[in-house]
Amino acid sequence: MKLLAESRTYATSDGLTLHYVDYNTGPSTGVPVVCLPGLTRNARDFSALALHLSESRRVLCLEFRGRGSSQWDADVSHYQAHQYVADTLLFLQKENLDRVIIVGTSLGGIVGTGIAEVDPGLLAGIVLNDIGPVIDPAGLKRIGSDLGRGTEWPSWKEAAAKLKEVNGVVYPTFTDKDWLDYARKTCRETAEGLVTQDYDPAISQAFASDSAANVELWEVFDALADVPALLLRGALSDLLSSETAQKMEARLPKLDLAIIADRGHVPTLEEAKALSAIRAFVAKVDTLNYPSI
């Protein structure tokens, strides 16, 4: 019997061991999907989406260095988008993947766009989860205010309560059960039985909010001009403005826009509208690459 998900690793060019989860529960008739997480997130963010999509294709959920089960980097200067692009390109090479759909949440979307800039032929399509070429300083300030603290809580319930306090504006309709699930996706247990967020706190040292807020990446995102794209924007997002999303829709001829209600930065990708939009998008990309499907 085939496993629903297989936990695997690969080695980077500088010797780190990075983790990913390989989903392939059905016949691989569609374009493979590679999921890239946000700044402090991990492969667990994509578990529900991966199970949906893996009925017809291979789905690979990566964890950047310093996140989840991937090895932490002693050189914090490597916690930058260009390094994640290089790591992901190496991963695609090792897995012999020459044509993929990328689903990129926030930072993952920037990394996916960077891959299009380096080798546009690799991307059959891209899903951008609440990220664009102009990053709102308000969202960066909120994210940076809780980044890298290394806080530990005595129980999952207390971790969930703190995460709700910090992120309640992002997920205003979450129940207590949702917050506990959110905690289990974003945190881990320490050897002492405490609960802490599942990333290297040193990531905060590479998080330059002031400079990032003043950078516009329109020329980078222009690499997607010929790539089928789906942009998901949380209706309450404080990182991707409605104005920027509309400009992206006008500037990128192959981009579709879906607004996810009652979500800030970022949608979980478990919302009914997000799931249906992504399923429709990958089906469209399949027909472009495999017309006989």
The percentage of residues in the chain with a pLDDT greater than 90, rounded to a whole number, is 84
Q: What is the pLDDT of residues 242-253, one digit of tens each?
A: 999 999 999 999
Average pLDDT over residues 124-146: 91
Give the distance from CA 10 to its chain's centroid.
Answer: 19
Q: Quick one: which of 140, 80, 92 has its CA closest to 116?
A: 92
| pLDDT band, very low/low/confident/very high, at 211 (cuts 50, 70, 90) | very low
- pLDDT value, residue 1: 42
**How high is the mean pLDDT of the chain?**
93
- pLDDT value, residue 138: 87
Question: Domain spans of the chain?
Answer: 5-137+207-289, 149-198
Q: d(Cα 137, Cα 143) in Å, to the nearest integer?
A: 10
Does this model's pTM top 0.85? My answer is: yes
Cβ proximity of 199 and 142 under 8 Å: no
Q: Quick one: which of 55, 61, 100 has its CA closest to 289?
A: 100
Q: What is the pLDDT of residues 220-268, one digit of tens each?
A: 999 999 999 999 999 999 999 999 999 999 999 999 999 999 999 999 9
pLDDT of 207 above 80: no
Average pLDDT over residues 203-217: 68
| pLDDT band, very low/low/confident/very high, at 3 (cuts 50, 70, 90) | low
Handedness of CA 42, 44, 46, 51 (dihedral sign): positive
Average pLDDT over residues 44-64: 95
Q: Which fold has domain 5-137+207-289?
A: Rossmann fold (3.40.50)
